[in-house]
């Protein structure tokens, strides 16, 4: 493990020493590729060690979605968990009060959302400082990252944390790059650009593919703005995770109104004070929106829909997913469904298994 960390340092140093210009562009691209590979290795679990590698905390997933609370020490993660769930996680003024993952359940609109309170992380977490790697692994398994920030601390805290998550392959509030890559058994490398690329060229991609020993593959770059980093993300796609992130500034009781206003206008951002109970419910509402979960109410023929109990499915779900939520074998008996609500073109609309559902749809399933 030390060995890999040293190698990473060496490459990082070399990249810092190398001036950025046309002549060094290919070399830098190659170094980036090497770096991404080493970092992925660093996160592989090492056999025989219980703490090392990418092992997360031993908390099994439960409920309809998982939200991870990530932040520096003492920003108020445990205070927030204790406020929005029935779980009491220890709160104190000193750093590293929380030493492991503490799960709580947030009930919202009939859904159960698992919220994970995590130990604070510090700069260098991705390289294994503190419990950083475990925290980051837990964050990687979540559907939404809540980055809790202290409104009274320096502004760079957010960029520092983002960099730590970025280093281990988490991509916040971003879509996967629009690059198609398919490995083949033979035929060499074929690279096509849909439009003239602004930041890439064929030679650069060849070099990087060779570094990854990918000698037979087809590449189609659809995005003219794609970068070397995007290309590496596509190659390393098994190690990349695209997760939504909500930035939450806590302790706004201790900052000026002007500053508060500035923070509140940043994208994907909420502000709150757990101490004064300000904005906490807004954060909870935003969590629900960002999770993009869908509530489906079912209705039996001739009866009113059961609004007291919702079935929860993920965004982009279909009637088939709804059937699977109800019972594993239901879709074998499925004839058609009637849908009332936002996804229906007329009311009710008769649909098949492939119909995409929307939040608060009412569905009646008719079986054979
Ligand atoms: N002024 C102010 N203090 C707060 C607020 N929320 C939490 N605190 C205080 O901040 C300190 C740290 O709170 P914790 O909830 O333990 O923070 P944490 O992020 O869980 O800390 P670690 O587990 O050590 O990483 C405590 O003294 C809290 O009382 C707030 O809204 N305003
Ligand atoms: K603390
Ligand atoms: Mg804590």
Q: Is the CB of 254 under 6 A from ligand 1?
A: yes
Distance CA 315, CA 367 (A): 25
Q: CA 229, 230, 236: angle at the middle one, nearest 5?
A: 85
8 Å CB contact between 114 and 61: yes
Q: Label residue 339 exposed, middle or buried (CB < 10 Å: 0-12, 13-18, 19+).
A: buried
Report the separation in Å between the CA atom of 95 and the middle of ligand 3, taken as the mean of its atom positions. 8
Q: Is the CB of 273 under 6 A from ligand 1?
A: yes
251 and 139 assigned to the same domain: yes
85 and 150 assigned to the same domain: yes
8 Å CB contact between 170 and 136: yes
Supply 340's token pair: 């009332």
279 and 306 assigned to the same domain: no
Please identify, among 273, 291, 309, the residue that sits at the C-terminal boundary of a domain.
Answer: 291
Report the separation in Å between the CA atom of 150 and the middle of ligand 2, taken as the mean of its atom positions. 12
> Which residues have CB atoms below 5 A from the ion given as ligand 3?
77-78, 97-98
Residue 363 lies in a domain: yes
Domain that holds residue 76: 65-174+240-291
Phi, psi values for residue 345, rounded to 5°? -80, -35
Which protein residue's CA is at the shortest distance from atom 2 of ligand 1?
251
Beta strands per DSSP E along the chain: 65-70, 102-108, 111-117, 144-150, 170-172, 179-183, 189-193, 217-221, 241-250, 269-271, 294-298, 311-313, 334-340, 349-351, 361-367
Q: In this structure, what DSSP letter does residue 59 have?
A: -
Residue 334 lies in a domain: yes
270 - beta bridge partners? 248
pLDDT of residue 50: 43
Give percent helix, percent strand, percent coil of the chain, each to the nearest 5.
35, 25, 45
246 and 100 assigned to the same domain: yes
157 and 261 assigned to the same domain: yes
pLDDT of residue 49: 46
> Which residues of the chain, if any, have pLDDT below 70?
1-2, 43-56, 128
190 - beta bridge partners? 218
| Closest listed residue to residue 165, CA positions, set 187, 135, 186 | 135
Phi, psi values for residue 17, rounded to 5°? -70, -30
Q: Is the CB of 77 under 6 A from ligand 1?
A: yes
Residue 48 lies in a domain: no
CATH code of the domain containing 123: 3.40.50.300
138 and 255 assigned to the same domain: yes
93 and 144 assigned to the same domain: yes
Supply 108's token pair: 């919202």
Nearest ligand to the CA atom of 148: 1
Nearest ligand 1 atom to alpha carbon 254? 1
List, in sequence order, the alpha helices (H) in 44-199.
77-84, 132-140, 156-167
Report the separation in Å between the CA atom of 94 and the middle of ligand 3, taken as the mean of its atom positions. 9
Q: Is the CB of 52 under 6 A from ligand 1?
A: no
145 and 119 assigned to the same domain: yes
Q: Is the CB of 82 under 6 A from ligand 1?
A: no
Q: Is the CB of 23 under 6 A from ligand 1?
A: no
15 and 88 assigned to the same domain: no
Please identify, among 214, 239, 264, the residue that sits at the C-terminal boundary of a domain.
Answer: 239
Q: How far is CA 126 from CA 5, 59, 152, 156, 196, in A?
A: 11, 20, 25, 17, 36
Number of domains composing the chain = 3
pLDDT of residue 139: 92
Nearest ligand 1 atom to alpha carbon 94? 24
| Closest listed residue to residue 162, CA positions, set 174, 152, 179, 151 | 174
CATH code of the domain containing 309: 3.10.20.30
143 and 266 assigned to the same domain: yes
pLDDT of residue 256: 94
pLDDT of residue 154: 85
With 0.90 as the threshold, say if the pTM is over it: no
pLDDT of residue 51: 43
95 and 213 assigned to the same domain: no
Report the separation in Å between the CA atom of 3 and the middle of ligand 3, taken as the mean of its atom positions. 32
8 Å CB contact between 218 and 182: yes
pLDDT of residue 46: 52
122 and 263 assigned to the same domain: yes
Reported ipTM = 0.99
Please identify, among 198, 220, 239, the residue that sits at the C-terminal boundary of a domain.
Answer: 239
């Amino acid at each position: 493990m030390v060995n890999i960390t040293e190698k990473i340092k060496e490459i990082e140093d070399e990249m810092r020493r190398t001036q950025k210009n046309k002549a060094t562009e290919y070399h830098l691209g190659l170094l980036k590729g090497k770096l991404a590979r080493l970092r992925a290795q660093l996160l592989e679990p090492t056999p025989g060690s219980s703490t090392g590698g990418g092992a997360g905390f031993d908390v099994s997933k439960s409920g309809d979605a998982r939200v991870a609370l990530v932040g520096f020490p003492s920003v108020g993660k445990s205070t927030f968990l204790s406020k929005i769930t029935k779980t009491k996680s220890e709160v104190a003024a000193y750093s590293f009060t929380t030493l492991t993952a503490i799960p709580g359940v947030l009930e919202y609109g009939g859904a159960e959302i698992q919220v994970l309170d995590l130990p604070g992380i510090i700069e260098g977490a991705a390289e294994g400082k503190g419990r950083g790697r475990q925290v980051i692994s837990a964050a990687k398994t979540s559907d939404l990252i809540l980055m809790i920030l202290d409104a009274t601390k320096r502004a760079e805290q957010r960029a520092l944390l983002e960099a730590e998550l970025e280093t281990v392959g988490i991509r916040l509030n971003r879509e996967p790059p629009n690059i198609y890559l398919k490995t083949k058994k033979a035929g060499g490398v074929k690279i096509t650009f849909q439009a003239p690329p602004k930041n890439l060229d064929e030679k650069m991609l060849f070099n990087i593919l060779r570094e990854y020993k990918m000698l037979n593959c087809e590449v189609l770059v659809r995005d003219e703005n794609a970068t070397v980093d995007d290309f590496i993300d596509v190659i390393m796609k098994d190690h990349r995770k695209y997760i939504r992130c909500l930035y939450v500034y806590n302790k706004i009781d201790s900052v000026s109104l002007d500053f508060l206003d500035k923070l509140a206008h940043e994208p994907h951002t909420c502000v709150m004070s757990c101490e004064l109970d300000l904005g906490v419910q807004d954060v909870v509402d935003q969590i629900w929106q960002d999770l993009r979960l869908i509530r489906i109410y079912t209705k039996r023929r001739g009866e009113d829909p059961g609004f007291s109990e919702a079935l929860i499915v993920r965004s982009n779900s279909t009637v088939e997913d709804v059937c699977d939520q109800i019972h594993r074998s239901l879709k074998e008996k499925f004839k058609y469904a009637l849908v009332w609500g936002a996804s229906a073109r007329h009311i009710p609309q008769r649909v098949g298994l492939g119909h995409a559902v929307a939040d608060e749809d009412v569905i009646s399933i008719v079986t054979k």
